[in-house]
């Protein structure tokens, strides 16, 4: 990781500042269930740079110890990460928990159960936003999500109009189909800058996707370097989940 790797991002943020604008960023970290050393490392990093963290928590596996850990910290929000993060797709198909491979009423009943569990565990820290496991959900379910109290959806990639407000993530730091570790810094920065360019023409947000349980040291170094480059920049502001999905 070199200084030049960050030059495109810093130039982009300088351009936002020069126009008197502030680019909104958010951090979504998936698969939280317990206060593991990796999660504590992430939350310590966020706290050190005053970056809010949004944890997509798996309700069927969430531990009370996680609620206690979050309760003693500030700037941490919780959202619904499916029910059990179980794959119900047939062999050879892309993994999916919230797919068309089971009756819709079964899937919705699980989501409703997960909603209740996270509300009971995390109280006001829980925002009723759904993050589908593997970022996939069958379109048939979307119109029915509001009926169980959900008020937003977050997956990966460009936002598409739907029955609920959508705020996605746009830059994934992990190389899932290659090394399994952190992607090259220049590639992640390119994704972030590309999103910032899109945001110049519309009111939008740049979402960073992390998965604390699988981070290698390169991933941790990237996150800290990104926070160092952005957290104090006047052309950038990191937002929490309530700012992205305001309540009624």
**Residue 48: pLDDT above 80?**
yes
Q: How many angstroms separate the CA atoms of 49 and 41, rounded?
A: 13
How many other C-beta atoms are found inside a 10 Å radius of the C-beta of residue 99? 21
Annotated domain spans of the chain: 3-244
Q: How many angstroms separate the CA atoms of 169 and 155, rounded?
A: 6
Tens-digit pLDDT profile for residues 85-136: 999 999 989 999 998 899 999 999 999 999 999 999 999 999 999 999 999 9
Closest CA to 101 of 111, 109, 91, 115: 91
The architecture (CATH level 2) of 3-244 comes to Alpha-Beta Barrel (3.20)
**Residue 212: pLDDT above 80?**
yes
Mean of all residue pLDDT scores within the chain = 96
Closest CA to 130 of 151, 109, 110, 113: 151
pLDDT at 172: 98
Would you list the DSSP string of the chain?
--GGGGHHHHHHHHHHHHTT--EEEEEEEEEE-S--HHHHHHHHHHHHTT--EEEEE-GGG--HHHHHHHHTSSSEEEEE--SS----SPTTSPP-SBSTTS-HHHHHHHHHHHHHHHHHHHGGGEEEEE--GGG-B-GGGGGGSGGGT--EE--BSS----SS-B--B-EE-B-TTTTSSBPPHHHHHHHHHHHHHHHTTSS-EEEEEE-GGG--HHHHHHHHHHHHHHTT-TTEEE--HHHHS---
Residue 57 in contact with residue 33, Cβ under 8 Å? Answer: yes
Q: How confident is the model at residue 4 (pLDDT cuts 50, 70, 90)?
A: confident
Placement of tokens 């570790």 in the chain: 181
Tens-digit pLDDT profile for residues 157-186: 999 999 999 999 999 999 999 999 999 999
């Amino acid at each position: 990781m070199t200084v030049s790797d960050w030059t495109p991002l810093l130039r982009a943020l300088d351009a936002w500042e020069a126009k008197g604008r502030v680019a909104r960023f958010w951090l979504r970290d998936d698969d939280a269930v317990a206060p593991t050393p990796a999660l504590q490392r992430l939350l310590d990093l966020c706290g050190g740079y005053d970056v809010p963290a949004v944890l997509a928590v798996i309700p069927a596996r969430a531990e009370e110890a996680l609620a206690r850990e979050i309760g003693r910290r500030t700037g941490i929000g919780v959202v619904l990460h499916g029910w059990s993060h179980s794959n119900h797709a047939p062999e050879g198909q892309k993994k999916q928990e919230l797919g068309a491979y089971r009756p819709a009423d079964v899937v919705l009943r699980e989501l409703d159960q997960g909603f209740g569990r996270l509300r009971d565990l995390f109280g006001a820290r829980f925002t009723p936003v759904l993050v589908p496991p593997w970022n996939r959900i069958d379109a048939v379910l979307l119109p029915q999500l509001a009926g169980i109290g959900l008020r937003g959806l977050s997956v990966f990639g460009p936002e598409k109009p739907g029955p609920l407000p959508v705020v996605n993530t746009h830059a994934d730091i992990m190389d899932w189909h290659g090394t399994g570790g952190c992607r090259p810094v220049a590639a992640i920065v390119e994704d972030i800058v590309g999103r910032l360019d899109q945001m110049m023409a519309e009111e939008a947000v740049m979402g960073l996707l992390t998965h604390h349980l699988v981070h290698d040291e390169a991933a941790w170094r990237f996150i800290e370097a990104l926070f160092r480059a952005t957290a104090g920049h006047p052309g950038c502001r990191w937002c929490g989940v309530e700012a992205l999905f305001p309540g009624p």
